[in-house]
């Protein structure tokens, strides 16, 4: 039999509705859960807004203050310290470069210790991995503060901070590429009598090296960004100049520094992107 639109009487629809309620209306339990979720979110938000004192008055005053600061920022001026700023930018780049380099050097052996296909001792792997998680879990700025206390103000603290937190990140990234490497060359070297070190050197390293370099370059990019702020806690680089200018209300100089940071970051991104594309391309054929 064929149904026509005329057969679709309200009575029949009602009957079907009664037979299968969930088809026509959402599951009441799920609906309640969704409603409860939204309600909880709204309540939490309201609590936060009250707790953090988001009064329109305060907001408005802050905005007008911010407007005044922005007006002071233009036109940007160097205040006769332009070369000092350039030097500090160079210091920032040097910190990022050395920090990433040392982190990469430390991360290579650690990544092998954290990879299932190289280091078979699972408890050892567990400790290496949790150690790396800890290094990554502490913010770079916290490391910088700690190192400033330990070795004094200056770029050395920043280099250490970048090195320590990035050893964690890079070891994780590296170990992922090691675990994804092709097993065949490794087994080939082992079968022809290679030692463990030789197996890694000739079976594994040629496969993963382009990936390693690419990840390290990527972290270098990210470190140039974060190195610009390490100076705020005294760990060298342009951040020190920036925070001094902001704290001293010399907004037009702060603005110039910000523009210089933006240009540097954009340039480094460009160079590193080009290099990375070449490296990955080289690794593929």
Partner 1 sequence: MTRDSTALPLFERQYAEQRSRRRRTNALGAAIFVACLAAAMVVGQFDLVRVADGLPRIFEYIGKILPQLRAESFGEDMAYWFYGLPDWLALLWETVLMAYTATLLGTLGALALCFLAANNLAPGRKTYFLTRRTLEFARTIPDIVYALIFVFAFGLGPLAGILAIAIHSMGASGKLFAEAAENIDMKPVDGLKGVGANWLQTMRYAALPQVLPNFASYTLWRFELNVRTAAVMGFVGAGGIGQELITAIRMLYYEDVSALVLLIVATVTCIDLLCEKVRHGFIGKENLA
* Nearer of residues 81 and 138 to partner 1, judged by Cβ: 138
Segment (H or E) for 194: none
Rounded to whole angstroms, the Cα distance separating 279 from 74 reads 42
- 234 neighbors 153 (Cβ within 8 angstroms): yes
Q: Is residue 85 close enough to count as binding partner 1 by CB under 8 A?
A: no
Q: Is residue 211 close enough to count as binding partner 1 by CB under 8 A?
A: no
* Stretch 16-75 residues interacting with partner 1 (CB under 8 A): 44-45, 48-49, 51-54, 58, 62-63, 65-66, 69
- 241 neighbors 88 (Cβ within 8 angstroms): yes
Shortest Cβ 53–partner 1 spacing (Å): 6
Piece of the chain touching partner 1 by CB under 8 A; list 13-21, 92-100, 105-113, 117-125: 92-100
* Nearer of residues 186 and 221 to partner 1, judged by Cβ: 221
Q: Is residue 249 close enough to count as binding partner 1 by CB under 8 A?
A: yes
Piece of the chain touching partner 1 by CB under 8 A; list 6-14, 114-122, 130-138, 178-186: 130-138
Under 8 Å CB-to-CB from 188, ≥6 apart: which residues?
A: 203
* Nearer of residues 183 and 278 to partner 1, judged by Cβ: 278
What is the torsional sign of CA 120, 123, 126, 130? Answer: negative
Piece of the chain touching partner 1 by CB under 8 A; list 3-11, 95-103, 109-117, 187-195: 95-103
The encoded tokens of residue 255 equal 């603005």
* Nearer of residues 186 and 229 to partner 1, judged by Cβ: 229
User: In a 3-state reduction of DSSP, which class is residue 158?
Assistant: helix
C-alpha torsion 78→82→84→86, nearest 10:
120
How many H-runs (helices) and E-runs (strands) does the chain carry? 13, 0
- Find tokens 């938000």 and name the residue: 45
Start-to-end CA span in the chain (Å): 64
Q: Which one of 142, 270, 271, 280 is in contact with partner 1 (CB under 8 A)?
A: 142
String of DSSP letters for 5-30: GGG--HHHHHHHHHH-HHHHS--HHH
Shortest Cβ 158–partner 1 spacing (Å): 8
Rounded to whole angstroms, the Cα distance separating 257 from 72 reads 14
Q: Is residue 214 close enough to count as binding partner 1 by CB under 8 A?
A: no
Q: Which one of 21, 36, 79, 90 is in contact with partner 1 (CB under 8 A)?
A: 90
For Cα atoms 215, 94, 241, give the angle at the middle one, nearest 5 degrees.
120
* Stretch 143-172 residues interacting with partner 1 (CB under 8 A): 145-147, 149-152, 154-156, 159-160
Rounded to whole angstroms, the Cα distance separating 91 from 227 reads 9
Q: Is residue 101 close enough to count as binding partner 1 by CB under 8 A?
A: yes
Q: Is residue 229 close enough to count as binding partner 1 by CB under 8 A?
A: yes
Contact footprint for partner 1 (CB under 8 A) = 44-45, 48-49, 51-54, 58, 62-63, 65-66, 69, 87, 90-91, 93-95, 97-98, 101, 133-134, 137-139, 141-142, 145-147, 149-152, 154-156, 159-160, 225-226, 228-229, 232-233, 236, 242-243, 246-247, 249, 254, 258, 261-262, 265
């Amino acid at each position: 039999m064929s149904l026509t639109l005329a057969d679709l009487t309200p009575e029949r629809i009602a009957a079907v509705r009664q037979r299968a309620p969930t088809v026509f209306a959402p599951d009441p339990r799920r609906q309640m859960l969704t409603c409860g979720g939204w309600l909880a979110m709204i309540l939490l938000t309201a609590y936060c807004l009250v707790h953090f004192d988001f009064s329109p008055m305060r907001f408005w005053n802050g905005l007008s203050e911010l407007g005044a600061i922005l007006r002071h920022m233009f036109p940007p001026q160097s205040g006769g310290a332009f070369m000092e700023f350039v030097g500090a930018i160079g210091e920032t780049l040097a910190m990022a470069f050395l920090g990433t380099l040392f982190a990469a050097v430390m991360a290579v052996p650690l990544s092998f210790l954290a990879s299932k296909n190289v280091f078979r001792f699972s408890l050892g792997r567990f400790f290496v991995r949790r150690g790396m998680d800890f290094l990554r879990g502490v913010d770079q700025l916290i490391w910088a503060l700690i190192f400033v206390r330990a070795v004094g103000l200056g770029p050395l603290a920043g280099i250490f901070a970048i090195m320590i937190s990035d050893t964690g990140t890079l070891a994780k990234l590296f170990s992922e590429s090691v675990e994804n490497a092709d097993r065949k060359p490794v087994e080939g070297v082992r079968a022809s009598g290679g030692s463990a070190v030789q197996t890694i050197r000739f079976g594994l390293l040629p496969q993963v090296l382009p990936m390693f370099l690419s990840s390290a370059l990527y972290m270098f990019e990210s470190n140039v960004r974060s190195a610009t702020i390490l100076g705020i806690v005294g760990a060298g680089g342009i951040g020190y100049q920036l925070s001094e200018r902001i704290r001293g209300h010399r907004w037009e100089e702060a603005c110039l520094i910000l523009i210089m940071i933006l240009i540097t970051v954009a340039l480094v991104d460009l160079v590193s992107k080009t290099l990375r594309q070449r490296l990955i391309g080289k690794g593929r054929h």
